[in-house]
Amino acid sequence: MQHFSPSGLSLPSPSRRTMLRGIGGAAVLGAGIPLLSACGGSGTASDPKTVTLGSKASDAVPKKAFADIYAAYKKKSGITVDVNTKDSNTFQEQINSYLQGTPDDVFTWFAGYRMQFFAAKGLATPIDDVWKTIGDNFPEAMHKLSKGEDGKYYFVPLYTYPWAIFYRKSVFQENGYEVPTTWDDFVALCKQMQKDKLVPIAFGDKDAWPALGTFDQINFRQNGYDFHVELMAGKASWTDAKVRKVFDLWTEILPYHQEGAMGRTWQDAAQTLASKKAGMYLLGTFVAQQFTDKAALDDLDFFAFPEIDPQFGQDTVEAPTDGFMMSKSPKNKAEAVKLLEFLGTPEAETVYLKSDPSSVHASTKADTSSYTALQKKAYDMIAGAKSLTQFMDRDSRPDFTSTVMQPALQKFVRDPKGVDGLLSSIERQKKTIFASG
Amino acid sequence: MTTQTTKEIPEAAAVPPPGAAPAKKVSQGHRRLLTRRDRLTLGLMAGLPTILHIALVWVTALASVALAFTTWDGIGFDSIKWVGLENFKELFSNNPQFWPAVQHNVIWFVVLIVIPTPLGLFLAVQLDKRIRFSRVYQTAFFLPVVMSMAVIGFVWQLIYNPDTGLINSVIGANEPGKYIDWIGDPDLNLWAILVAASWRHTGYMMILYLAGLKGVDPSLREASALDGANEWQTFKNVIFPTLRPTNTVVLVVTIIEALRAFDLVFVFNKGAQGTELLSILVTNNIIGESSRIGYGSAIAVVLLLISLVVIIPYLVATFRKERRA
């Protein structure tokens, strides 16, 4: 359409009509903005045979695994699940405005504080009636995880994955290492690995969240599950001697962590474990996704974070759980309830895990016969746990963990000597954030 | 002479020609000719952009200033709570990232003005001599400017990655003991990013100066050559003074670049230790599932005030100059 003249002098000016058309277009665009943000398959809302579902599962593997569940449900009930998938980061960033706009009937989300937060804000529907049907499928710990602060159920768990210390069986065999169960054994093993020219603990904190996991493990081993909950809820003080002790223990093992963690992603750190340059790595079972070589994957094993205080032993397991919630006013509530009942069955979980074997069932009734050795171990670890935690950014206010804790722990890892000033700074910032309601 | 040069300097096109003043008279003469439809059209043409401008620029800017004195988690309007200056108090006294961020924005500006700007001028002067393959060089130096900052961030990460990056692999600094953490070490990472930013800024400055140099009257060079000045003297005493308007543009562009610095750092390491920037603090506080919109707005207001302190004197100076003309 545009005519460029070589001289640059005789450019034809656009006629009034084209200008007007442009304005009209802009007006339509402007009117289109609210429509865009409301896109959630609203066109099919009145269809009783359809339930809409907002999904953050945008990666290929989970996307297919979720699609398999919905296909199985359609086969069983004749109801179509109209899925609206968004990029997972975008979904998380926009969850706020998404739930306040015209959300889908059901949406994928996380258990723990992050679920309770939206439940308390009235942006989700309580689903006690769903739990009457599916309750028996889940262990007590999962019941606890699925309730809001008001004691009502808001969440249907689908799968979970524990955090643990991963290692290569062959490396331990060749060097005659034994799995450490106490803190002293663990420190001694780190020292030995360093002598053997291995990086004792692989570490990458470029994305700022992996260090939160290390803090969690030391904290609930040293101070127990209850203190973890109090601290995360903003009730316990960060200047408490108990917290200081966590950082002292961390300082003790920090020299055995991989150098330059702040410039390395967890994927790169996982590669040092895969290539046998590192001896151990503390992460969730999703670390297995980085083991593309079948032989290396079979060689991968893990053990629970060692005991620090015998009073608490190893009874707490960090196991983030993902699942579903119902939005505040679903258009097709009757069918949404039925869908959630199906999603809470061992059957739905099994369909999911068939395509994505890096996690385990949230239900204890599920069929575990097709599990890999790693999955079996993960499952036993969770089933045997007295308490389950959800990871710092799911157990506490996300604004606190992302704007205060992530930079603070990065600072600590770089300069462990400044811990006292750091802790009082965290405590001061925590007070303002938790006071803001 | 000046009228001749203004035609050739592209930036000068933004300044209205001195003949624009009698426009008022002309429009009055045409008034009778406007039909109702014409008036409607004009109304739409002027009105719609005005409404859009007010809604998208002024209302949002003023709203964020107002929100800076509240706390709000972004859920429902009834959760907005007035807290007065609390956010600013918190920011100035309690946020460990705030002052480093201000400092880094200043460093960003100083580095851009001290390194890539003279370098861009130098390259422009060389290219202006019509050396052979001058177009090839011009394209090569300008290429980074065409790329998006996010892409530049990805490209430079391949160079800086401490484990597998180009630099550490070549000098063998990816082993324990000799490790150099270009992205994570707070004493290094800001400078590493500034190299990438300068790499782009040099090309930008070069093009601006090249345009300025094309506008220098050749007779000036001739005259100075006749007076027996050498190349450096010619540049210092004759050419550089005529580049004054270009220098103003360069200064403003660089200030803007320093204040809006964001994308490169966000891609590089999300503004972690050592690379905090005001723009990144704003984003971190506002975007997310339970956001601190009031607090984030307070940081945005600080950024706005800094921008105003820089821009108002510039605008005042420019308008004064125009009036004189």
ipTM for the whole predicted complex goes beyond 0.90? no
Most confident of A19-33, A264-278, B261-275, B285-299: A264-278
Place of tokens 């442009």: A22
pLDDT in tens, B23-58: 444 455 555 678 889 889 999 999 999 999 999 999
Residues of chain B contacting residue A195, judged by C-beta atoms under 8 Å apart: none
DSSP SS3 for A135: helix
* The Cα angle at residue B52 between residues B48 and B54, in degrees rounded to 5: 115
Mark whether A356 and A404 lie in a shared domain: no
pLDDT in tens, A346-361: 999 999 988 888 889 9
In this structure, the number of other CB atoms found within 10 A of the CB of residue B2 comes to 9
How high is the pLDDT of residue B269?
A: 86
How high is the pLDDT of residue A354?
A: 87
Report how far apart the first and last C-alpha atoms of chain B are (Å, whole number): 15
Mark whether A131 and A86 lie in a shared domain: yes
**B184 reaches A (C-beta below 8 A):** yes
How high is the pLDDT of residue A12?
A: 37
Q: Of B52, B86, B181, which has the smallest distance from its Cβ to A263's Cβ?
A: B181
How high is the pLDDT of residue B1?
A: 39
Q: How many domains does chain A have?
A: 2
Mark whether A268 and A313 lie in a shared domain: yes
Beta-strand runs (E) in chain B: 70-71, 81-82
For A216-230, A260-274, B85-99, B217-231, which range has the lowest pLDDT when averaged over its residues? B217-231
How high is the pLDDT of residue B30?
A: 53
CATH number of the domain to which A188 belongs: 3.40.190.10
Mark whether A342 and A286 lie in a shared domain: no
Cβ atoms of A395 and A236 within 8 Å: the answer is no
pLDDT in tens, A145-169: 899 989 999 999 999 999 999 999 9
Q: Of A268, A271, A407, which has the smallest distance from its Cβ to B272's Cβ?
A: A407
C-alpha A243/C-alpha A423 separation (Å) is 9
Mark whether A171 and A264 lie in a shared domain: yes
Residue A44 or B63, more confident? B63
CB contact under 8 A, A407 and B186: no
Mean pLDDT of the A49-56 span: 93
- Picking from A351, A370, A389, the residue at the C-terminal end of a domain is A389
Mutate to test the interface with B, among A402, A424, A426 (most CBs of B within 10 A): A402
Residue A23 forms part of a structural domain:
no
pLDDT in tens, B211-223: 999 888 888 888 8
Amino acid B123 reads L
Residues of chain B contacting residue A26, judged by C-beta atoms under 8 Å apart: 48, 52
Tokens of B311: 């821009």
How high is the pLDDT of residue A94?
A: 87
As to burial, measured by CB atoms within 10 angstroms (0-12 exposed, 13-18 middle, 19+ buried), residue A58 is middle
Residue A2 forms part of a structural domain:
no
- The shortest C-alpha distance from B320 to chain A (Å) reads 31
Residue A42 forms part of a structural domain:
no
**B157 reaches A (C-beta below 8 A):** no
The average confidence (pLDDT) of chain B is 85
How high is the pLDDT of residue A437?
A: 60
Q: Which distant-in-sequence residues (6+ apart) come within 8 Å of A89 by Cβ?
A: none
Cβ atoms of B45 and B38 within 8 Å: the answer is no
How high is the pLDDT of residue A343?
A: 95
pLDDT at A21 over 70: no
Mark whether A311 and A200 lie in a shared domain: yes
pTM: 0.82
**A61 reaches B (C-beta below 8 A):** no
pLDDT at B193 over 80: yes
Q: Computed from CA positions of residues A356, A360, A365, A370, in that sequence, does the dihedral angle turn out positive or negative?
A: positive
pLDDT in tens, A387-436: 899 999 899 988 899 899 999 999 999 999 999 999 999 999 999 888 87
pLDDT in tens, A211-236: 999 999 999 999 999 999 999 999 99
For A2-16, B121-135, B147-161, B239-253, which range has the lowest pLDDT when averaged over its residues? A2-16
Residue B116 or A18, more confident? B116
**A147 reaches B (C-beta below 8 A):** no
The average confidence (pLDDT) of chain A is 87
**A95 reaches B (C-beta below 8 A):** yes
Nearest-by-CA chain B residue for A268: B163
Residue A1 forms part of a structural domain:
no
* The Cα angle at residue A237 between residues A233 and A239, in degrees rounded to 5: 145
CA distances from B325 to A12, A90, B16, B18 (A): 31, 51, 11, 8
Nearest-by-CA chain B residue for A19: B45
How high is the pLDDT of residue A424?
A: 95
- The shortest C-alpha distance from A366 to chain B (Å) reads 32
**A88 reaches B (C-beta below 8 A):** no
Residues of chain B contacting residue A206, judged by C-beta atoms under 8 Å apart: 183-184, 269, 272
How high is the pLDDT of residue A357?
A: 82
Q: Which residues of A266-286 are buried (b: 16+ CB within 10 A; e: fewer)?
A: bebbbbbbbeebbbbbbbbbe
As to burial, measured by CB atoms within 10 angstroms (0-12 exposed, 13-18 middle, 19+ buried), residue A173 is exposed
C-alpha B21/C-alpha B18 separation (Å) is 7
Mark whether A360 and A404 lie in a shared domain: no
pLDDT in tens, A105-154: 999 999 988 899 899 989 999 999 999 999 999 988 889 889 998 999 99
Residue A146 forms part of a structural domain:
yes
Interstrand relation of A321-326 and A156-160 (parallel, antiparallel or unpaired): antiparallel
Mark whether A222 and A99 lie in a shared domain: no
How high is the pLDDT of residue A191?
A: 97
Mark whether A377 and A426 lie in a shared domain: no
How high is the pLDDT of residue A331?
A: 92
Residue A228 forms part of a structural domain:
yes
**B200 reaches A (C-beta below 8 A):** no
**A430 reaches B (C-beta below 8 A):** no
Mark whether A313 and A327 lie in a shared domain: no
Question: Which residue range is the domain that position A174 belongs to?
Answer: 163-318+397-436
Mean pLDDT of the B152-159 span: 91
Mark whether A306 and A327 lie in a shared domain: no
In this structure, the number of other CB atoms found within 10 A of the CB of residue B247 comes to 16
CB contact under 8 A, A408 and B96: yes
pLDDT at B117 over 50: yes
DSSP SS3 for A187: helix
Residue A39 forms part of a structural domain:
no
Mark whether A87 and A154 lie in a shared domain: yes
How high is the pLDDT of residue B325?
A: 64
Pairs across A and B, CB distance < 8 A: 126
- The shortest C-alpha distance from A259 to chain B (Å) reads 7
What DSSP state is assigned to residue A85?
Answer: E
Helical axes A333-343 vs A60-77, angle rounded to 10°? 110
